[in-house]
């Protein structure tokens, strides 16, 4: 017979919330992605220091960006709600929350594209244009990834893979989504609000 | 160490017990080509990393030798200036990115689960993915080189020379896209090391009992997570500057060439520690084995590694002293660069004290570690000289810097790696490397190296600029350069001896047994090579040196290697808490899969499509990539297992 001792204690099995490897892995991903955006904003301020406020062609309008910010924040709220429903085994509400998150994410992307088309400058005009389009472009790419993640966990929820015991993937997608929103706040503040401050 | 002294007593767990057999069935992958391509075993990937890195070391070495032939005397015409540009660029990037970091990843990927007392990395498939994409990123850059479009602006690739007007060919695009792929590999690897270190240590291995190699790798991994985005972004911006007319680095559209240097060095200075700290960890863990005593000052060495990494993010400007940055910045970064030498000095004193107070066994590995310390010190001194802004103004872009780079990189990285190989080769293959050949290996490397690079300090002080493809007669550089070239060939011969030793010993070396050196850490408790599941039962650790507890009598409790959780209800690993390593959950581990390889291929294909501006193909490949990822991450019902099957 094996010399292995019996299990010393009853431990939960499987991907269990914040105890799972996956959740910690997502934290490291967020760390490195946050650095990416820090460097993008570093480039913005580097140019600003060198060229002064004359560098910014004209103060960016808030007509689209401000409501869009609200939409993104709202989506975070719904995803957070979905996650807490998952914890209480309210599967229907959980799916609805995720679905609303996906829809709001897509609306954000659509409005962002409108915003892009309204700009009088292009990515190739000056370093300001380059900085603006690359930074917001990187953010949009992250929104797309976030939407895909939410859609995937939505699908898997509908297929019945998750319940209150097993819902790490939902938490993992959710925390990524909150991160993407937080990054947007930093970008919004930098690109849209600071020109009005200085 | 004479082979006769070796203690072969098995501290081993039983191999044929029912539990062990059941585990072998669960963890062993299938054979054949498919099994080879879809394996997720960390031991397999550790070896693949090391072999691949050595192939790149050989390629980079050949490039260096060709350069040295060209520089052996004045006015030589073996190479054209453009060929020389491509050679030193390929040499630099090969050594730094494709050799120095991946070889350390190889050691850590192989050793992490073994020294931490678990069964695999936290994300085995991600582990496979980071290896494949590393390999493909290297092949991608080399493909450019082979068709005549190698990067030609040095490994640090300064704008504006890297921009389209000055560099119209696709040379830089190969480098830019290849480095973005490589960044993905490093990041995936770093994620894996961090989570494995924080969440998969054996119960009882509190954070202050983890081996220093693990600390070094984890610290470097945090460095990767924070620094790699800077360079990936810089290369992405360079690529859009070149292909889509953005203006990040060209002054014409209000860009700033210096922004490149900032982003690059914010990454590349910390990178120095990424290729140093795990190597220093190898020495800190292996040197004590041959001194027959624990490392002096475990805690300060760990704190020093962490402090070095943190401070490493604050000194990047010392690579830019000659760019006309403001005086205040100059003084600050110069001072900070001095301060950062303190933690390294702490580590050096710890090693010296360990040798001093121990009973050193003069094995080949020990020789390499002693040589490492000597070169570390010389490299440190020339580093301080370049960290001082006034002397840097004189030394920058001369051969003095080339001498410094090589003392640091070969001293800290190559010697530690070679020494480490003599120590862990038996664990990887079950056979010892030959000691006699090993001594020849060490002395040719050591003498060849110093003959080649010590005189370079002098050529540099005499004013010979780096990155010149030839020089005229009568400047007093010729004789020194000839000596350097001879030294380089002796060094290369030494490296060749290592390869020969590996080749021969792999089949015909002395059979090692589980613990050929009498080591203190957990990997020496399992057979050589280890079984597919690493540990039959998860060990419980009560001290820093589980295998030396009897001799040291320092631990209050006793580690337990033969009794513990068997975790054999499937491929399972124990999840423990970050600080105290208390068990909190049992994680189901993934089976073998082709998804990592396919993802890596799709990502590389995306880079190829981007290079060729084949946007439709790029779109299709992206869809494939997403689909593969979707199935990779597909949840398994098995994970829903709630009830624990009874056994025992
Ligand atoms: C046989 C061994 C080696 C020889 C003979 C050698 C020789 C050289 C030479 C001739 C240069 C170009 C100097 C110039 O023209 O500016 C160079 C640059 C360099 N080497 Fe090595 N090297 C060797 C091994 C290594 C190793 C093992 C590493 C790193 C792990 C390394 C890293 C570098 C780097 C980073 C550069 C700078 C490239 C650049 O200027 O962009 N070398 N080496
Ligand atoms: Cu530096």
CB-based contact, A20 to chain B, within 8 Å? yes
Mark yes or no for CB contact A35/B230 under 8 Å. Answer: yes
Structure confidence at residue B13 (pLDDT) = 57
Task: List pLDDT tens digits, range B264-289.
Answer: 999 999 999 999 999 999 999 999 99
Mark yes or no for CB contact A134/B17 under 8 Å. Answer: no
Phi, psi of B585 (to 5 degrees): -160, 165
In chain A, positions 81-140, which contact chain B (CB-CB < 8 Å)?
Answer: 123-131, 133-134
A159 and A83 Cβ atoms separated by less than 8 Å: no
* Interface pTM, i.e. ipTM: 0.95
* CA B315–ligand 2 middle distance (angstroms): 6
pLDDT-above-90 percentage for chain A: 81
Mark yes or no for CB contact B247/A35 under 8 Å. Answer: no
Structure confidence at residue B641 (pLDDT) = 54
Task: List pLDDT tens digits, range B631-641.
Answer: 999 988 766 55
Residue whose token pair is 């020109």: A195
* CA A158–ligand 1 middle distance (angstroms): 57
B133 and B181 Cβ atoms separated by less than 8 Å: yes
pTM of the model: 0.95
Mark yes or no for CB contact B585/A3 under 8 Å. Answer: no
Kindly tell me if the per-residue pLDDT of A129 is higher than 90.
yes
Structure confidence at residue A165 (pLDDT) = 82
pLDDT-above-90 percentage for chain B: 85
Structure confidence at residue B639 (pLDDT) = 65
Task: List pLDDT tens digits, range B258-267.
Answer: 999 999 999 9
* CA B580–ligand 1 middle distance (angstroms): 43
* Residue B257 CA from chain centroid, whole number: 30
Task: List pLDDT tens digits, range B77-119.
Answer: 999 999 999 999 999 999 999 999 999 999 999 999 999 999 9
What is the Cα–Cα distance from B212 to B285, expressed in whole angstroms? 6
Out of B87, B154, B406, mutate this one to test ligand 1's pocket (max ligand atoms within 8 Å of CB): namely B406
User: What stretch of H or E contains B573?
Assistant: strand B572-576
Give the mean pLDDT of chain B.
93
Report the atom number in ligand 1 closest to the C-alpha of B154: 41
B324 and B259 Cβ atoms separated by less than 8 Å: no
B588 and B572 Cβ atoms separated by less than 8 Å: yes
* CA B157–ligand 2 middle distance (angstroms): 16
Structure confidence at residue B635 (pLDDT) = 87
For A11-45, the DSSP string reads --BS--GGGSHHHHHHHHHHHHHHHHHHHHHHHHH
B175 and B144 Cβ atoms separated by less than 8 Å: yes
pLDDT-above-70 percentage for chain B: 95
Q: Which ligand sits closest to the CA of B175?
A: 1
Mark yes or no for CB contact B639/A134 under 8 Å. Answer: no
Smallest CA–CA separation between B217 and chain A, in Å? 15
Structure confidence at residue B646 (pLDDT) = 41
Task: List pLDDT tens digits, range B380-392.
Answer: 999 999 988 888 9
Give me B195's structure tokens. 């989570």
Task: List pLDDT tens digits, range B119-162.
Answer: 999 999 999 999 999 999 999 999 999 999 999 999 999 999 99
Report every protein residue that has its C-beta within 5 angstroms of ion ligand 2. Answer: B 269
What is the Cα–Cα distance from B330 to B441, expressed in whole angstroms? 43
Kindly tell me if the per-residue pLDDT of A6 is higher than 80.
no
Structure confidence at residue A13 (pLDDT) = 82
Kindly tell me if the per-residue pLDDT of B550 is higher than 90.
no
In chain A, positions 23-42, which contact chain B (CB-CB < 8 Å)?
Answer: 24-25, 28-29, 31-33, 35-36, 38-40, 42
Smallest CA–CA separation between B200 and chain A, in Å? 9
Structure confidence at residue B638 (pLDDT) = 67
* pLDDT (mean) for B21-27: 91
Task: List pLDDT tens digits, range A166-192.
Answer: 889 999 999 999 999 999 999 999 999
* CA B379–ligand 1 middle distance (angstroms): 14
- Measured between beta carbons, the chain B residues lying within 8 angstroms of A128 are 254
Task: List pLDDT tens digits, range B383-419.
Answer: 999 988 888 988 999 999 999 999 999 999 999 999 9
Out of B88, B278, B465, mutate this one to test ligand 1's pocket (max ligand atoms within 8 Å of CB): namely B88
- Measured between beta carbons, the chain B residues lying within 8 angstroms of A151 are none
At B324, the pLDDT band (50, 70, 90 cuts) reads confident
Do you know the residue count of chain B?
A: 648
What is the Cα–Cα distance from B136 to B604, expressed in whole angstroms? 7
Smallest CA–CA separation between B239 and chain A, in Å? 12
* Residue B318 CA from chain centroid, whole number: 24
* pLDDT (mean) for B334-338: 91
Reduce the DSSP state of residue B171 to 3 states and report it: helix
Kindly tell me if the per-residue pLDDT of B75 is higher than 80.
yes
**Angle (nearest 5°) at CA B469 between B464 and B474:** 50
Mark yes or no for CB contact B641/A134 under 8 Å. Answer: no
CB-based contact, B251 to chain A, within 8 Å? no
Task: List pLDDT tens digits, range B151-196.
Answer: 999 999 999 999 999 999 999 999 999 999 999 999 999 999 999 9
Torsion of Cα atoms, B388 then B391 then B396 then B398, to 10°: -130
At A11, the pLDDT band (50, 70, 90 cuts) reads confident
Structure confidence at residue B107 (pLDDT) = 98
Kindly tell me if the per-residue pLDDT of B12 is higher than 70.
no
CB-based contact, B626 to chain A, within 8 Å? yes
Structure confidence at residue B556 (pLDDT) = 63
The larger pLDDT score, comparing residue B2 to residue A50, is at: A50
Task: List pLDDT tens digits, range A54-71.
Answer: 999 889 999 999 999 999
Task: List pLDDT tens digits, range B464-479.
Answer: 999 999 999 999 999 9
Mark yes or no for CB contact A55/B254 under 8 Å. Answer: yes
Neighbours of B479 (CB within 10 A): 10
Structure confidence at residue A52 (pLDDT) = 92
Q: Which ligand sits closest to the CA of B271?
A: 2
Structure confidence at residue B1 (pLDDT) = 39
Mark yes or no for CB contact A43/B237 under 8 Å. Answer: yes
In the Cβ-directed half-sphere of B136, how many Cα atoms lie within 13 Å? 25
Structure confidence at residue A41 (pLDDT) = 98
CB-based contact, A145 to chain B, within 8 Å? no
At B15, the pLDDT band (50, 70, 90 cuts) reads low
């Amino acid at each position: 017979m094996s010399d292995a001792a019996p299990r010393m204690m009853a431990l939960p099995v499987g991907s269990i919330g914040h105890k799972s490897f996956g959740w910690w892995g997502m934290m490291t991903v967020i760390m490195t992605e946050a650095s990416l955006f820090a460097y993008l904003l570093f480039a913005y301020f580097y140019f600003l220091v060198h060229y002064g406020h004359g560098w910014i062609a004209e103060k960016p309008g808030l007509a689209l960006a401000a409501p869009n910010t609200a939409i993104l924040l709202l989506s975070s709220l719904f995803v957070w709600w979905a996650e807490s429903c998952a914890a209480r085994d309210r599967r229907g509400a959980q799916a609805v929350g995720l679905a609303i998150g996906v829809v709001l994410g897509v609306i954000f992307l659509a409005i962002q594209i409108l915003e892009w088309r309204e700009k009088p400058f292009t990515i190739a005009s000056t370093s300001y244009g380059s900085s603006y389009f690359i930074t917001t472009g990187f953010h949009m790419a992250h929104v797309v990834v976030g939407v895909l993640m939410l859609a995937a966990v939505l699908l898997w929820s509908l297929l019945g893979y998750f319940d209150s015991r097993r819902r790490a993937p939902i938490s993992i997608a959710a925390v990524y989504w909150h991160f993407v929103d937080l990054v947007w706040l930093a970008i919004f503040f930098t690109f849209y609000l600071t020109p009005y401050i200085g | 160490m004479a082979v006769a002294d070796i203690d072969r007593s098995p501290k081993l767990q039983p191999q044929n017990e029912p539990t062990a057999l059941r585990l072998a069935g669960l963890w062993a992958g299938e054979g054949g080509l498919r099994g080879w391509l879809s394996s997720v075993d960390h031991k397999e990937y550790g070896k693949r990393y090391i072999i691949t890195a050595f192939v790149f070391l050989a390629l980079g070495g050949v490039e260096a030798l060709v350069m040295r032939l060209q520089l052996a005397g004045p006015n030589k015409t073996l190479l054209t200036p453009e060929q020389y540009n491509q050679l030193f660029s390929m040499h630099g990037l090969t050594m730094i990115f494709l050799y120095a970091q991946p070889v350390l990843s190889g050691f850590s990927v192989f050793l992490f689960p073994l020294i931490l007392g678990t069964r695999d990395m936290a994300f085995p498939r991600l582990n496979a993915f980071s290896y494949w994409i590393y390999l493909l990123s290297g092949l991608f850059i080399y493909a450019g080189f082979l068709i005549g479009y190698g990067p030609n602006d040095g490994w640090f690739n300064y704008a504006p020379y890297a921009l389209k007007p000055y560099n119209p060919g696709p040379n830089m695009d190969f480098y830019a896209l290849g480095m973005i792929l490589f960044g993905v590999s490093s990041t995936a690897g770093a994620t894996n090391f961090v989570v494995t270190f924080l969440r998969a240590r054996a119960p009882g291995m509190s954070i202050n009992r983890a081996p220093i190699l693990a600390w070094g790798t984890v610290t470097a991994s945090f460095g990767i997570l924070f620094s790699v985005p800077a360079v990936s972004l810089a290369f992405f911006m360079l690529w859009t500057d070149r292909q889509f007319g953005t203006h990040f680095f060209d002054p014409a559209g209000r860009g700033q060439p210096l922004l490149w240097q900032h982003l690059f060095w914010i990454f590349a200075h910390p990178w120095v520690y990424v290729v140093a700290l795990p190597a220093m960890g190898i020495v800190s863990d292996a040197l004590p084995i041959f001194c027959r005593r624990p490392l002096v000052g475990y805690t300060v060495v760990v704190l020093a590694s962490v402090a070095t990494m943190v401070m490493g993010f604050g000194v990047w400007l010392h690579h830019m002293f000659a760019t006309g940055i403001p005086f205040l910045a100059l003084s600050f970064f110069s001072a900070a660069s001095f301060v950062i030498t303190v933690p390294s000095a702490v580590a050096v004193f710890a090693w010296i004290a360990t040798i001093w107070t121990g009973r050193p066994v003069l094995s080949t590995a020990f020789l390499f570690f002693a040589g490492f310390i000597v070169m570390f010190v010389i490299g440190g001194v020339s580093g301080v000289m370049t960290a001082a802004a006034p002397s840097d103004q004189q030394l920058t872009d001369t051969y003095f810097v080339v001498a410094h780079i090589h003392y640091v990189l070969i001293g800290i990285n190559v010697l530690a790696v070679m020494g480490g190989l003599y120590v862990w080769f038996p664990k990887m293959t079950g056979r010892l490397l030959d000691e006699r050949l090993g001594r020849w290996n060490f002395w040719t490397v050591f003498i060849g190296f110093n003959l080649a690079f010590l005189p370079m300090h002098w050529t540099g002080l005499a004013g010979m600029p780096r990155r010149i493809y030839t020089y005229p007669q009568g400047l007093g550089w010729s004789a020194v350069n000839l000596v350097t070239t001879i030294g380089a060939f002796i060094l290369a011969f030494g490296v060749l001896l290592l390869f020969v030793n590996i080749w021969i010993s792999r089949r015909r070396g002395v059979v090692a047994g589980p613990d050929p050196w009498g080591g203190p850490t957990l990997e020496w408790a399992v057979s050589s090579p280890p079984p597919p599941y690493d540990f039959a039962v998860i060990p419980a650790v009560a001290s820093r040196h589980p295998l030396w507890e009897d001799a040291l009598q320092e631990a209050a409790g006793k580690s337990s290697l033969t009794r513990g959780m068997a975790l054999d209800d499937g491929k399972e690993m124990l999840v423990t808490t970050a600080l105290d390593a208390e068990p909190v959950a049992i994680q189901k581990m993934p089976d073998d899969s082709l998804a990592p390889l396919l993802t890596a291929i799709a990502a590389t294909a995306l880079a190829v499509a981007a290079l060729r501006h084949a946007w439709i193909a790029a779109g299709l490949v992206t869809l494939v990539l997403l689909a593969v990822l979707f199935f990779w991450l597909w949840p398994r019902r098995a994970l829903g297992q709630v009830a624990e099957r009874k056994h025992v």
